[in-house]
Amino acid sequence: MEGTVILKRKSQWVRRTAKIENCIFSYKRNATDKKNKVEIDLQKAKIMLGERIEAVSQFPYIFIQANPLKPEVIRICLEEEDTFNEWL
């Protein structure tokens, strides 16, 4: 699975090219970048679905916590319901 996602980075939302391959989630700034910014083993990560709240986000989103013992999470938002379901 590969495509464009919207990530919450600090206080702003940014578009990134993301991929899931062999249970590894990775993303990079754009499709032409050679190196991934992040690689997360989804077999070890904690994955949560975010509740859609109009005041916060009109799009469905997924939380990925790479290390369940650390508070850092990546919030991934997808603009289309069908695309969201494909990423699940």
Residue bearing tokens 């997924």: 62
* DSSP classification of residue 51: P
What pLDDT is recorded for position 54? Answer: 56
CATH fit for domain 2-82, picks 2.40.370.10, 3.30.360.10, 2.30.29.30, 3.40.50.1370: 2.30.29.30
Cβ count within 10 A of residue 78: 21
Q: Determine if the pTM surpasses 0.75.
A: yes
8, 73 Cβ separation under 8 angstroms: no
pLDDT of residue 85: 79
At residue 81, the pLDDT reads 76
pLDDT at 58 (0 to 100): 65
Residues contacting residue 85 through CB under 8 Å, at least 6 positions apart = none
Ranges of residues in the chain whose predicted pLDDT is under 50: none
Domain regions of the chain by residue span = 2-82
Can you give the pLDDT at residue 84?
78
